[in-house]
Amino acid sequence: MISDIALPASRGQVGTPLIAIGERRDPSGPILEPDHRNTIIIIMGRDDMPDGLTLNKITSQKGIGITEAARRVADLGWTPSYVKEAMAFPTDYKISKAPRDPMKQVLRSYFPMQEEKDNRVYGALDAALRGDMFRNVEPRWIEWMKLFLAIIPFPEISAARSMATLGQLAPGDDLRTGFTMQMIDEFRHSTIQMNLKKWYMENYIDPAGFDITEKAFGKCYATTIGRQFGEAFLTGDAITASNIYLQVVAETAFTNTLFVAMPSEAARNGDYALPTVFLSVQSDESRHIGNGHSMLMSVLKEPDNHLLLERDIRYSFWQNHMIVDAAIGTIIEYGTKNRDKNKESYAELWHRWIFEDYYRTYMLPLEKYGIKIHHDDVHEAFDSIVKKNYVHKIAQFFSAGWWANFWRIEAMTERDFEWFESKYPGWYDEFGVWWENYAKLSKPGSVPITFADTGYVYPHRCWSSLVPCVIREDFQVDEVDGELYTYASEVDRWTHKEAFAAEYQGRPTPAMGRFSGRRQWEEVYDGWDLADAIQDMGFVRPDGKTLVAQPHLSFEEKDMWTLDHVRGHTIRSPLLALREMTPQQRQAHVEEYRKGFKIRRV
């Protein structure tokens, strides 16, 4: 029997020890040896209780404040001084100043808050079903949720994993608590998003697509773009990936379009489930932004880091623009049926949240610390949306390869045309005929629009972002390590050739990642028949012949495309074809590609 064993006072505690492992008061009693396999709970005997102190008095004592609790939790950290800790997640940055935890969060306040949020989320989903939401929601919108909810849980999980890298790199123990809370946040986000996807699948008229999103995510010719986004949180230099790319840019700048603009558009389309889930997610982002800024300020203290920060902020901002604007801009503009001319377009939302809020109030102040900000990149990103129709060209690309996806894409109508023309003057001249052709060719037995004689030229892929090179005049080609690659812009070419290299402007950067592998969907399926590629991706319904994807919203069996309707067409990789050309042929091809194309009616 174990009793009357004394415990040494914890650091900073005054008083008589209560328990000591390996110490005994009764010489005849056994010695308690440490045993990592067991947890032993020891209750003090009455003889050890100080006079006047009772259990009720102990439990009724007033608790300490959250700030003091956070300080004490951080004080529990223990970093051995007698051995150098191995760097499991390498970085080329120097970090000497311990960052502070700006939110002072502890578990006793964190878990009740998150539990209340979850209760509200699941209560709202139940209320949406009781209110017959699926009788009123727009099918066009729900179909695009198959894409969105296939992509977004993966970056959330990647963000959770990336907190382990920052937790190890941050000196001191203060912010590690903040990173721990963020890790739990990201797991929560992914979980409620996966549950939302399951909820849609169980209640929507056409669940096909929702049921295969996890398998489809890495195979679809559109979702590979999202995979590039999520993997960037984890690969390469740990500070580059987890702090700059994720926290400083993705969470601080682009979560407004992800988690605020998307829910707003969902509500306009009769979907009240997605706003409940994603506004609950967004409510955590202020803490994540605070974590990122605190770590950034710690990194800024070292002048040797400034060159790397300039590189990483430039790369991270541009790639977030390329990927997030491609996906979210397309869903918001082309997944909606609401054409209220008083609502903001994606370009207007971008100007308000990214240009005004992030660029002017977050990026520009970094210059006073000696960090060079590439202002021209921010302006070019905005111009690509407003003047070069980036989002609309991505939507055209998604619809061109509708058969290689796992959701339905409906043709735009006259009402859509009118709204686009009011928000983006000149839109119809460039895209109106395309969508009219798309509607005509949506009937089974038609030539898939990718292979129809419309004048459309299938785009190259950007090796850096995996987004198609749709702004033709910005198309770039360069050689890296003896191999040719294609890029959507000059910044994308710089990203691959200079930023992701073993040396940056004379400074060795061994921790920086590399782009490698068979990154492009077209390269994987080069030479394949469409029907065989669709079967290989698993985008076929249970009958073994009907495609999951459809170019319309008709749910009649007679209107459904099957494998036989797409068989006989061959997929070709523009990159592999470019590499096989002679230098003269390649130069002529690039010049022709940059001229663009003109859509003609079929």
Burial 169-178 (b: 16+ CB within 10 A, else e): bbebbbbbbb
421 in a domain, yes or no?
yes
Q: Which of 325, 341, 336 is nearest to 271 (CA)?
A: 336
DSSP conformation letters of 245-279: IIIIIIIIIIHHIIIIIHHHHHHHTT--HHHHHHH
Q: Count CB atoms within 10 A of the CB of residue 350.
A: 26
Residue 471: give its domain's CATH number. 1.10.620.20
Cβ contact 163:183 at 8 Å? yes
Amino acid at 32: L
Burial 356-382 (b: 16+ CB within 10 A, else e): eebbeebbeebeeeebebeeebbebbb
* pLDDT confidence of residue 514: 86
Give per-residue pLDDT as tens, 562-571. 999 999 999 9
- Tokens for 525, please give them: 């399926």
Cβ contact 244:366 at 8 Å? no
* pLDDT confidence of residue 58: 64
8 in a domain, yes or no?
no
* pLDDT confidence of residue 489: 98
* pLDDT confidence of residue 44: 45
* pLDDT confidence of residue 441: 98
Give per-residue pLDDT as tens, 477-533. 999 999 999 999 999 999 999 999 999 999 999 999 888 888 899 999 999 999 999
Q: Where are the alpha helices (DSSP H) in 449-598?
A: 490-494, 521-524, 530-537, 563-566, 574-580, 583-595
Q: Please give the angle made by the CA atoms of 240, 243 and 248, to the nearest 5 degrees.
A: 110
Q: Please give the angle made by the CA atoms of 394, 400 and 401, to the nearest 5 degrees.
A: 100
Question: Which DSSP state fits 529?
Answer: B
Q: Do the strands 476-480 and 483-487 form a parallel or antiparallel pair, or are they unpaired?
A: antiparallel
* pLDDT confidence of residue 180: 87
* pLDDT confidence of residue 487: 98
Q: Where are the alpha helices (DSSP H) in 335-448?
A: 346-350, 375-386, 390-400, 414-423, 427, 433-440
* Dist. CA 411–CA 402, nearest whole Å: 11
Cβ contact 450:441 at 8 Å? no
Q: At a CB cut-off of 8 Å and minimum separation 6, what does 292 contact?
A: 243, 246, 247, 248, 251, 252
- Tokens for 539, please give them: 């985008």
102 in a domain, yes or no?
no
* Dist. CA 312–CA 318, nearest whole Å: 10
* Dist. CA 379–CA 455, nearest whole Å: 31
Which residue has 């009402």 as its token pair? Answer: 415
- Tokens for 375, please give them: 């202002």
CA 437 to chain centroid: 33
248 in a domain, yes or no?
yes
CA separation, residue 499 to residues 491, 493, 515, 539 (Å): 10, 9, 11, 37
Instruction: Give long-range contacts, CB 8 A cutoff, 24+ apart: 23-32.
Output: 29/3, 29/4, 30/2, 32/2, 32/5
Q: Count CB atoms within 10 A of the CB of residue 266.
A: 27
Given a cut of 70, the residues of the chain with pLDDT beneath it are 1-52, 55, 58-59, 61, 74, 77-80, 83, 85-86, 103
Amino acid at 384: S
* Dist. CA 24–CA 30, nearest whole Å: 7
63 in a domain, yes or no?
no
pTM: 0.86
CA separation, residue 598 to residues 12, 386, 422, 454, 589 (Å): 76, 20, 22, 8, 17
353 in a domain, yes or no?
yes
Burial 40-75 (b: 16+ CB within 10 A, else e): eeeebeeeeeeeeeeeeeeeeeeeeeeeebbbebbe
* pLDDT confidence of residue 36: 40
* Dist. CA 85–CA 161, nearest whole Å: 20
* pLDDT confidence of residue 18: 37
5 in a domain, yes or no?
no
Q: Which of 336, 306, 288 is nearest to 137 (CA)?
A: 336
Please report, in angstroms and rounded to a whole number, the separation of the first and last CA atoms in the chain.
Answer: 90
Number of domains the chain contains: 1
* Dist. CA 138–CA 144, nearest whole Å: 10
Residues linked to residue 464 through DSSP beta bridges, in sequence order: none
* pLDDT confidence of residue 218: 82
Does residue 445 come out as left (phi exceeding 0), alpha (psi in the -120 to 50 range) or beta?
Answer: left
Phi first, then psi: what are they for 2, rounded to 5°? Answer: -100, 125
Q: At a CB cut-off of 8 Å and minimum separation 6, what does 550 contact?
A: 402, 408, 559, 560, 561
Q: Do the strands 483-487 and 507-508 form a parallel or antiparallel pair, or are they unpaired?
A: unpaired
Counting every residue written for the chain, the total comes to 602
* Dist. CA 198–CA 182, nearest whole Å: 24
Range(s) of the domain holding residue 247: 107-508
* pLDDT confidence of residue 22: 38
Which residue has 């082309």 as its token pair? Answer: 334
355 in a domain, yes or no?
yes
Does residue 421 come out as left (phi exceeding 0), alpha (psi in the -120 to 50 range) or beta?
Answer: alpha
